[in-house]
């Protein structure tokens, strides 16, 4: 009997400057390859984009930064609707992180942008990201 990781297809793509202008490419890639989980960084998704970026058969999850200072999520995750997964609540809206558990496995999509929240440096932001992930 195959384990979930032996049958699990996982994609990660940096779409560079936003998913909306490349959405036809993303839908085509998903339809051809049928991944179980597909993380897209530099997605630049705003709340009003969520409906138009849906793909049939997939749930779309984004980082909590969509409600934060920059009002957008720079990491998106398409997850097949039929798999049993759980979104990990990171209790943070300043880091572009989406974490999911599938069985005993955890998958994490992370984007660390060039623009920083006020009073942060690249180093402090990186250490905060590690702190958040360590707690889960």
- What is the mean pLDDT, run by run of 10 residues, along the chain of 136 residues? 63 91 94 94 94 96 88 94 88 82 88 78 84 72
Per the CB < 8 A criterion, the answer to whether 88 and 136 are in contact is: yes
At residue 45, the pLDDT reads 95
> Which pTM does this prediction carry?
0.85
* Domains annotated on the chain, with CATH: 4-135 (3.60.10.10)
Nearest alpha carbon to residue 29 among 6, 3, 58, 8:
58
**What's residue 133's pLDDT?**
79
CA max distance for the chain:
52
Task: Give the DSSP letter of residue 19.
Answer: S
């Amino acid at each position: 009997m195959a384990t979930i990781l032996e049958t699990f297809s996982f994609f990660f793509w940096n779409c560079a400057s936003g998913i909306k202008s490349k959405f036809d490419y993303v839908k085509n890639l998903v339809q051809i390859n049928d991944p179980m989980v597909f993380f897209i960084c530099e997605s630049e998704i705003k709340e009003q984009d969520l409906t138009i970026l849906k793909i049939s058969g997939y749930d779309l999850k984004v980082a909590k930064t969509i409600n934060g200072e920059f009002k957008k999520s720079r990491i998106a995750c398409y997850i097949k609707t039929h798999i049993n997964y759980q979104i990990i609540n990171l209790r943070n809206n300043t880091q572009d992180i989406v974490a999911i558990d599938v069985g005993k496995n955890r998958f994490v999509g992370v984007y660390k942008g060039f623009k920083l929240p006020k009073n942060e440096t690249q180093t402090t932001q990186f250490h905060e990201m590690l702190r958040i992930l360590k707690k889960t």
